[in-house]
Amino acid sequence: MTAMLKIENLHARVEGKEILKGLSLEIGPGEVHAIMGPNGAGKSTLGNVLSGRDGYEVTEGSVTYMGQDLLALEPEERAAAGVFLAFQYPVEIPGVNNTYFLRAAYNAQRKARGESELDSMEFLKLVREKLKVMNLSTDLLNRAVNEGFSGGEKKRNEIFQMALLEPKLAILDETDSGLDIDALKQVAEGVNAQRDPQRSFLLITHYQRLLDYIEPDFVHVLADGRIVESGDKTLAHKLEEHGYAWVAEHGEPAGAA
């Protein structure tokens, strides 16, 4: 089986400081991988590098996505190729209508793939279907992107966008942070509803509790810029029990802790 995403010996810098120090990871189609790790381990940097944010300099290594060099693509090209990042902090964009934004994004992706664009009626029908799945109210569509949304609404909106855009690889960057238990369940349900043999997930999280609701196939521990331990979902429970310090002793050294 060929990997959907293959990260090899990835080194990346932010503002001259090396954050990722030789990270390697393979994700096959339909697999759900969780990356856990303490603050400062490089979790969010990984999500940002994969989605193409400015300011992240890759100094070594490679990322191959469905046979192509992912790092050579612009963020919008990655999106059109099926990579989706659910933001840890979704951005409020005053003045940009949510529906307009979603349709522009949806059609831009279709256009980039050489597919036909949807008119506003067709699109609205699609949006209504997807909204139901996330239990979001339709009045959210008439508001500006993320503006005045509660923390939970913002995160649910990210998962709703994912449902709409139907990516092949979804990266969820601490989507569980700041959520109460009900919102967490809703987010998890939204993700689970989209699990598919052709869709892979990379869940980036600090806490194990998200994994109670979204069961991963693999769990990796990220410390000091590389993966120091990999296993099945039971690894998450060990971490919960012993804390990240346990990894530092048990696995490779994770710097001064």
55-74 footprint of another protein as x/- string (CB under 8 A): -------------------x
Question: Concatenated DSSP letters for 131-153?
Answer: HHHHT--GGGGGSEETTT--HHH
Angle CA 127–129–132, to nearest 5? 105
Name which of 201, 204, 2 is nearest 82 in CA terms.
Answer: 201
Region of residue 243 (phi > 0: left; psi between -120 and 50: alpha; otherwise: beta): left
- Does position 252 interact with another protein (CB under 8 A)? The reply is no
95 is an interface residue for another protein by CB under 8 A: yes
From 108, 118, 126, 133, residue interacting with another protein (rule: CB under 8 A): 108
Sites for another protein among residues 194-213 (CB under 8 A):
none
15 touches another protein (CB under 8 A): no
Residue 76 binds to another protein (criterion: CB under 8 A): yes
The minimum distance between CB 112 and another protein, in angstroms, equals: 7
Q: What is the helix (H) or strand (E) element at residue 3, kind and residue range? A: none
Distance CA(102)–CA(7), nearest Å, equals 30
Contact call for residue 79 and another protein (CB under 8 A)? yes
| Contact residues: another protein, CB under 8 A | 51-54, 74-76, 78-80, 84-85, 87, 90-91, 93-96, 101, 104-106, 108-109, 112, 144-145, 161, 165
